[in-house]
Structure 1
Amino acid sequence: MATTFSSTTLLALALFTLLTSAAHSTLSPSFYNASCPKLQTVVRAAMVDVVRKEPRMAASILRLFFHDCFPNGCDGSILLDETPKFLSEKNAAPNFNSVRGFDVIDAIKSKVEKVCRATVSCADIVALATRDGVNLLGGPSWTVELGRRDSLTANMKAANEFLPGPSSDLAQLLNTFNRRGFTARDVTALSGAHTIGHAHCGFFADRMMGDTSIDSAFASLLQQNCSLSAGGGAAEALAPLDRTPERFDNAYYRDLIAHRVLFHSDQELFNNGPQDSLVRQYSADGTLFAADFAAAMVKMGRLNPLTGTSGQIRLHCSRVN
């Protein structure tokens, strides 16, 4: 499928790619080896406790990372509370009452501050917690590049404009991710994040009520379960994103083939289109999916980070120093 870009769009994409490449060149897996050698041990131990108590939180932290990085770069801006100077990204439409895990990041930050005062950014803690959460549910691990700094402000406008929605079609998905430097293969792999966690029924109500791309028996089951769990069908009821929501595996892709996924944007990856072949590959080869997902997550972590003297190392993730 071809996508047409204007010269202005191409120039903006080139500049974004240049800035991203220059910025991530200063990121390094060994960034804190001397200044905070216990960092990764502290974050991992904290996530072990978190995931043991609530496996769903691993998916929530993964989503928090994506919603931080994708609109404006991996800068911890989504963690900031609203102030008289700026609107919080927490209140943007894609985030309000759906993005969670802020308290988890705050708790890990407090633990890190006890061993390395004013050294590690909240943005880097989110990146490490994301990797560990995925891995603890049976998913891949990857080398997290570190050295990000925290933003001094939030960007609600970018969060509202650039995060893809659950009703997006394939062209919209590919275009949105392409603007951030991701390939169609990256999109298909990253969408596999929906192999863990749950979603509010309100986000896929249209799928239950007449979307022809969903298995009809599955749609009926969703209607029943959402109604029962909410005591009347409230949008806040939850449904699992795939058949094994507490295990990071390739079941999501098997559900795509069976037309039994929650979001229209997910089903677009397997709907007689160009991504069908890759979906079939991932459904049959979990190792291939895991490798591609890990590579795409490293790429996600390189999105326009603040480094050097830009931004700051926040002492509290919810507010600037």
Structure 2
Amino acid sequence: SGRKNFAFIQAEDELAAIGMVIGAMWNGARAFTATSGPGISLMNEFLGLAYYAEVPAVIFDIQRVGPSTGMPTRTQQGDLMECAYASHGDTRHVCLYPANAEECFYMAVQAFDLAERLQTPVMVLSDLDIGMNDWMCRDLKWDDNYRPDRGKVLGKAEVLELKKFYRFLDLDDDGIPYRTLPGVHPKAAYFTRGSGHTQYGAYTEDSAEYQVVLDRLLRKWATAKRLVPRAVIDATAGAATGIVSVGSCDGAIREAIDVLKRRGIGVDYMRVRSFPFSEDVERFLAAHERLFVVEQNRDAQLRSLLTLETAVEKSKLRSLLHYSGLPISSSFIVAGVLAELEPRQLATAQGATGGRSG
């Protein structure tokens, strides 16, 4: 249309920001907010509301060093677990993990399409290394033919064809119900609630009716596994050893793999790009005898997610944990791999600080 059909709103705090996003997307607009770890902590209750009431929302989390205020000008990947299971009760949230500025651009589009198609919050987890430093990337390209995937939104004509509209009923057995936008027709009105509700949209405290809805959300999660971005996998080495990582660790890992290759050590590599983990993640984990999980936090959060959400044998996993607040280096990764594979060569590897392996 050529018209500028958008608005920027400076919210008074993180609670107001996520509330505005949920309200806007419930009403049919596309909206997002950006924050860091402390903001995600504050937004937890609203994220639970959007998950259970099945309202789309998009949040960019530029992860920084925690806990608390931490070191706000340093980088880390300490929000992986917090974002995956944000809010009390049984919740699971779709998360995307860009590795660079270019991927942030394209994942923004994917995040909105996934949020609307799945009717759920989607979080894009960048970090301070990506968010504040200068990056070189290819020219960003926008497809003018792109049309938003609004998901299962019923218009007036479709509503009038129904005998009755039930907001949370799973008609297609994919866990995703049909929704309407406010004002489309009185026949499609329903009460958006974060309290217990039936698949028909009515309030309930009945155990069986509550469980029907919660079990359907698991079917939606299974559908999400088929829709989220696939992992980036380089298995050209055909090795028994693999590296698994996420986000901005990518450049240092690729450099480390080249260094190891020159030393005669072949290593395969998988960069996870989303949660839930898709089937290609499961296959990579199953195909390797030893797996180094490289991440920028103290508590092995990616490793924890892998053990919780996949069938990987825990004995296969070795953590390389970098959490100094500085970007991870290839020398740190090389030293960690050699410490496990060739302890006698450790002395010749470049020294590295700011983390640990185990």
TM-score higher than 0.5: no
Tell me which of the two structures has the higher relative contact order, counting C-alpha pairs closer than 8 angstroms and 6 or more residues apart: 1
TM-score with structure 1 length normalisation? 0.31
Greater strand proportion: 2
Greater helix proportion: 1
TM-score with structure 2 length normalisation? 0.29
